[in-house]
Amino acid sequence: MAFLFRSLLAAGLAITLFPSASAAQIFIARDANGTTVLSSRRLDRPTQVFHVPGAPAYRTTTEGLPRNAELFEELVQEHSQKHSLRPELVRAVIQVESGFDPRATSPKGAMGLMQLMPDTARSLGVVNAYDPEENIRGGTAYLRQLLNKYGSEQLALAAYNAGPGAVDRYDGVPPYRETKDYVRKVGSKAGATTNAPKRTVLYKWFEIIEDRIVPKFTQDPPRRGPYEVLN
């Protein structure tokens, strides 16, 4: 049977690659268990299916990272750790945003690996958004700001794509197809977060009470005045 399987598979490939007028065909179907079945005749009625020992299994895979992704892995690791981000999340954002092309420019003017808009780049102190180190430094800092504000990766990604104003306006992921697709794609590539360690963020600022400077702490960022983020 193993020889028959290999023969049928070889014949199927040959017919696919080199079509001819020959009547020989290979029909491919799936049984009730989802197993791929090869046959020399149509499988249009109940058919006895045989297991082929040693036959290769069919599996699906997620999209692999581009070859040049490894060029930026050290920067991804460094700045992910600095901002307490999952490296998987940062890689996924870069993959969806630019495909790891440091020279990428969107029609709207977003620049570089993490596609920073000009105003966002300036606010983050990024001088050259096409420099991988500056871009990843700024992009991860911005992603951390959004995570601190919204408390979830889903909302942070929605804000990264559509802007914080849109997330605030709809009090959640905006009903834009582009943004929904973006959140789904990045989330899928980044993987689940259920096993990731939980991170507590505290905000520290000072108030003057009766001529005394008193430190204050909270899990929500203060609405005004300078503050410090404590991990």
Contact, 186 vs 170, CB < 8 A? Answer: no
Would you kindly state where each structural domain of the chain is located, as residue ranges? 1-61, 70-190, 200-231
Residue 95 or 26, more confident:
95
Mean pLDDT over 67-86 rounds to 92
- Tens-digit pLDDT profile for residues 77-107: 999 999 999 999 999 999 999 999 999 999 9
Known catalytic residues are 97
Report the predicted TM-score, pTM, of the whole model to 2 decimal places.
0.59
User: What local confidence, expressed as pLDDT, does residue 7 receive?
Assistant: 55
Considering the segment(s) 70-190 as one domain, its CATH architecture is Orthogonal Bundle (1.10)
Reported as a single tens digit per residue, the pLDDT across 12-25 is 545 444 444 445 56
